[in-house]
Amino acid sequence: MSGRAEAAAVPRHVAIIMDGNGRWAKQRLRPRLFGHRAGAESLRAVLRACRDRGVEYLTVYAFSTENWVRPEDEVSGLMSLLRTFLKKDEHELHENQVRLRVTGRIQDLPEAVRAELERVMAATKTYAKGHLILALSYGGRAEIVDAVRALAAEVQAGKLAPAAIDEAAIAAHLYLPDVPDPDLMIRTSGELRLSNFLLWQLSYAEFYFTETLWPDFREADFAKALDEYARRQRRFGAPS
């Protein structure tokens, strides 16, 4: 295989629904937060794998708009775990020149968490070797609603004609319009649904589902997903 073909076989952007932390903990008769802590190790493993395999963008579904209804102790534990992850792993972002970004309604997050995220995002904003995108207080429908509201405001202000609204206009008003759409979406734990994740951006992504629970998902599992992606033919609506 030529170098060019090899490069095309590697997804530029991988999105992951990190599912199964609670079930993993339950199997071990431990609280759900125990599973979330173990899942953080899987994220570290996948970050290393992205660097080694040449994946440029990694977006992970860390906390959805629907997750706010979970028990208060679990939500606060997840927020604490996020701050710990940022403090513990910031040095790796710098060492590997990985930029941290957030997609979602960041304003909904606790002030201390938001401040830590903004600090690390500012410290890594010039990096371009890799991009880690955390979907936090994120919902695909909420993102589209926010984009439509922004477009409606421009129409109301006389800055945009309704007839000028097309797919490109909507895409330009999404949370991270400069980020390319995912090429591959991975969901762990055997569930076969999108759960309101990147509904606009995943229109032509390849999907990969695995029974493996997220805390057990490691570099070898990620390699299997990439190998499966490389075997597929992406046509984007064109005939085979």
Q: What are the residue ranges spanned by the domains of the chain?
A: 11-227
Contact between 138 and 65 (Cβ < 8 Å): yes
- Per-residue pLDDT tens digits for 175-214: 999 999 999 999 999 999 999 999 999 999 999 999 999 9
- Domain 11-227: top CATH class: alpha beta
Cβ atoms within 10 Å of 146's Cβ, excluding its own: 16
Active site residue 196: no
Active site residue 67: yes
What's the token pair of residue 32?
């759900």
pTM of the model: 0.93
Residues found in the chain: 240
Q: What was the pLDDT predicted at 2?
A: 33
* Nearest CA among 46, 39, 44, 41 for reference residue 19: 39
Residues 6+ apart with CB under 8 A from 210: 186, 187, 188, 189, 190, 217, 221, 224, 225
What's the token pair of residue 160?
């945009």
Q: What was the pLDDT predicted at 3?
A: 40
**Which of 21, 52, 67, 216 is flagged as catalytic?**
67
